[in-house]
Amino acid sequence: MSKIIVAIDGFSSCGKSTLAKALSVHMGYVYVDSGAMYRAVTYYCLQKKLISAAGKFDEKKVVNTLKKIKLSFKYNPYAKSSDTYLNGDNIEKEIRQMKVSNHVSKIAMIKEVRDRVVDIQRTMGKEKGIVMDGRDIGTNVFPGAELKIFMTADIDIRVQRRLDELNSRGEHVTYEEVKINLMKRDYDDTHRKESPLSKAKDAVVLDNSDLNREQQLEYIERLIKDLLLTKDTLSI
């Protein structure tokens, strides 16, 4: 059976990664969390004191440090998903903290950062059989992807999901802090100059405000099954 590229884009805390991970396991595909790559760059900059407490940074210094950053993913059998590695170190937990979330959108706006990350992503997708989620996967990274999904959900539902996730990791923040962070990230993601978040013309919209994980996965699996059947029939 033919393999395809599944590109999943959408707003923060819509469950893109959760769906992509489950889908990759079901399909036997490689999963790549593109957002984790930008978070890793941001985390590195924070560790090297390139970002101030007020969020200020020298773009030229960030760009110059890219050559010192090596990103990779390794499968975690306990989590049944891939962990993010920065220069050989597992930073999966560290990149999910609020201090990284507060700055990642700004770092991701830098053209050279995006160019570097996109090069890595495209290399990963050459053999197809890949599920990737992010902000510009269907519009920029893989515009030729066979299946494109654009995910969205009600803002209050997204806030609660993110709050629950942070609390489960022992990071205690307020509902209002999370809402402000998500709204700021939405604005930054949709208004940045380089590859802003937008729905690809041929993307399928998935509003999962009232859908559980099983329902979402079932819906996407049906789309893929129909797509593969059509693709294999046409190739006969």
Non-local (6+) Cβ contacts of 200 within 8 A are 7, 9, 138, 139, 143, 148, 150
pLDDT (0 to 100) of residue 231: 64
Give me the helix-helix angle, 155-168 and 175-191, nearest 10°. 120
Please report, for residues 104, 111, 189, 190, the alpha-carbon distance to residue 193 in angstroms, rounded to integers and kept in the order given.
Answer: 15, 9, 9, 9
Whole-number percent of the chain with pLDDT over 90: 72
Do 180 and 101 touch, CB atoms closer than 8 A? no
Instruction: State which H helix or E strand residue 155 sits in.
Output: helix 155-168
- Listed residue (144, 139, 125, 135) closest to 29, CA to CA: 125
Give the whole-angstrom CA distance, residue 62 versus residue 106. Answer: 11
Q: Residue 147 maps to which CATH number? A: 3.40.50.300
pTM above threshold 0.75: yes
With respect to residue 168, please indicate whether it lies within any of the assigned structural domains.
yes
Burial of 223 (0-12, 13-18, 19+ CB in 10 A): middle
Instruction: Quick: pLDDT tens for 39-92.
Output: 999 999 999 999 998 899 999 999 999 999 999 888 788 877 788 999 999 999
* Residue 204 domain flag: yes
Is 84 inside any structural domain? no
Q: What is the pLDDT of residues 9-25, one digit of tens each?
A: 999 999 998 999 899 88
What domain count does the chain have?
1
User: Looking at the domain assignment, is residue 11 inside a domain?
Assistant: yes
Does some domain include residue 86? no
- Structural domain of 135: 5-34+97-231
> Does 217 fall in a domain?
yes
Residue range 122-140: average pLDDT? 91
Residue 48 within a domain: no
Query: Given pLDDT bands bounded at 50, 70 and 90, which one contains residue 106?
Result: very high
Whether 116 maps to a domain, the answer reads yes
- Write out the two tokens for 228: 């593969």
